[in-house]
Amino acid sequence: MYILVLNSGSSSLKYKLFSMEDERVLASGVVERIGSTGTPARVTHQKGDGDKFQKDKTVLNHQEALRIVLDLLLDAEQGVLQSLDEIGAIGHRVLHGAEYFTDSVLVDDQVLAKLEELRELGPLHMPANIMGIRACRELMPKVKQVATFDTAFHQTMPRKAFLYAVPYQLYTDYRVRRYGFHGTSHRYVTSRTAEILKRNDLKIITLHLGNGSSVAAVDSGKVLDTSMGFTPLEGLVMGTRSGDLDPAIVPFIGQKLGLSPEETDAYLNKKSGFLGVAGYSDMRDIQKMRAIEPRAEDAYQMFIHRLVKYVGAYIAVLKGLDALVFTAGIGENDWLVREDLCRELEFMGVKIDPAKNTGKRGEELIISAPDSKVTVMVIPTNEELMIARDAYRLVR
């Protein structure tokens, strides 16, 4: 069976087509700048492991973008399908499932209505996610669709971890609580860690470190706590997000800068983090500039310090630690971040092998030293594969 996985952003549509018999990627790509009036959209398509194909054209909406994707999959030169009937299901990455969805689900009218209700919990992402589902319904009405939620894996958190110390009515009436995000990534690396170490009773801290970053404390496959909260803004210092801060800062900066609540929210989400401190949002730029720009060094040290605080706290929550797992762009590729964090944790028995840590990239690695009390691992995340597996499981 072939499964098409879609990740619909506000102005983009990413896709991967899997053959589920061997979980091989047949084709992948992205349509960017959807709806842009100034510049045409950029379409990037890759057949298997072959060369990338690019073209620019005007794309007004997600339905047009999906039509382009489907045409490419059927193309005589770039395509891999003889007919769209070969697609057994479509898996969608959806930001928010709130408390309603603790697992992936087949999309029907009732599910779609619930997603519409949850728009307010993810105003930047949910409208695009829903547009992607509706576009598929229009163009491929007979193909079953599956929604996989970024929040679902974290729904095992106990009440003491997900409730905020605010009037309880905010939870009951407006669903204000910790949800956590990057759940599909945390779920994937958790399952791979259990497979590699051949144990299902592991105490694991998973570190999804990228432009957006989060930490999860996982005990025997169940999340006990995670760093992102009601929105992805809470937690670690990130590329453009502030992470944790005193809530009183929010109205203060709004007043001082003359910003509306919406503008203040955007300020903390898009102009803060590495970008706000150092002027660069990418960790690769931060690393290059640390030696010559003090603010770049500040941003880096803040990032490591916040990581140390969360990992230390989550070891206490878990009452021990079997495995520390790095994933995503920074986690998989920046050996210095891994080294600096683990050095701060040496008093807890965390030791890494420098040669293994600075070795291969893009591969699953155990980088801990033989005498380390904790297994330290690098596992490249594969959220699309998790979505494809869920879709395959549900449609069968």
Residues 121 and 247 in one domain: no
Q: Of 58-62, 144-148, 267-271, 284-288, which gets the smallest average pLDDT?
A: 58-62
Q: Which residues does the annotation mark as catalytic?
A: 150
pTM above 0.85, yes or no: yes
23 — phi, psi (to 5°)? Answer: 55, 40
- Which pLDDT score is estimated for 8? 87
Hey, what amino acid is at 394?
A: L
- Which pLDDT score is estimated for 363? 87
Instruction: Give yes or no for residue 32 having a pLDDT over 90.
Output: no
Reported confidence tier of residue 287, pLDDT bands at 50, 70, 90: very high
Residues 315 and 251 in one domain: yes
The pLDDT tens digits of the residues spanning 303-320 come to: 999 999 999 999 999 999
Instruction: Give yes or no for residue 359 having a pLDDT over 80.
Output: no
Instruction: Give yes or no for residue 10 having a pLDDT over 80.
Output: no
Q: How many residues does the chain have?
A: 396
Residues 26 and 131 in one domain: yes
- Which pLDDT score is estimated for 11? 80
The pLDDT tens digits of the residues spanning 327-352 come to: 999 999 999 999 999 999 999 999 99
- Which pLDDT score is estimated for 182? 94
- Residues 170-199: what's their mean pLDDT? 96
Hey, what amino acid is at 60?
A: L
- Which pLDDT score is estimated for 150? 95
In a domain, 379, yes or no: yes
- Which pLDDT score is estimated for 124? 81
Tokens of 146: 């599956």
Sign of the alpha-carbon torsion through 310, 321, 189, 145: negative
The pLDDT tens digits of the residues spanning 126-154 come to: 988 998 899 899 888 999 999 999 999 99
- Residues 359-363: what's their mean pLDDT? 80
Check: CB of residue 177 under 8 Å from CB of residue 162. yes
- Which pLDDT score is estimated for 179? 96
In a domain, 27, yes or no: yes
Instruction: Give yes or no for residue 257 having a pLDDT over 90.
Output: yes
Bridge partners, 2 (sequence order): 19, 87
- Which pLDDT score is estimated for 79? 87
In a domain, 31, yes or no: yes
Domain count across the chain: 2
Instruction: Give yes or no for residue 125 having a pLDDT over 90.
Output: no
In a domain, 156, yes or no: no
Residues 114 and 8 in one domain: yes
In a domain, 155, yes or no: no
Q: Of 95-109, 118-132, 170-184, 222-236, which gets the smallest average pLDDT?
A: 118-132
In a domain, 189, yes or no: no
Residue where a domain stops, chosen among 124, 149, 174: 149
Residues 339 and 243 in one domain: yes
- Which pLDDT score is estimated for 371? 95
Q: Which residue range(s) make up the domain with 27?
A: 2-149
In a domain, 392, yes or no: no
In a domain, 172, yes or no: no
The CATH number for 263's domain is: 3.30.420.40
Question: What's the whole-number average pLDDT of the chain?
Answer: 93
Residue where a domain stops, chosen among 90, 120, 149: 149
Hey, what amino acid is at 254?
A: G
Residues 132 and 215 in one domain: no
What percent of the chain lies above the pLDDT cut of 90?
82
DSSP H stretches of helix in the chain:
62-74, 109-117, 126-139, 159-162, 169-174, 183-197, 249-257, 261-270, 273-278, 283-289, 294-318, 328-333, 335-344, 354-357, 383-395
Instruction: Give yes or no for residue 50 having a pLDDT over 90.
Output: no
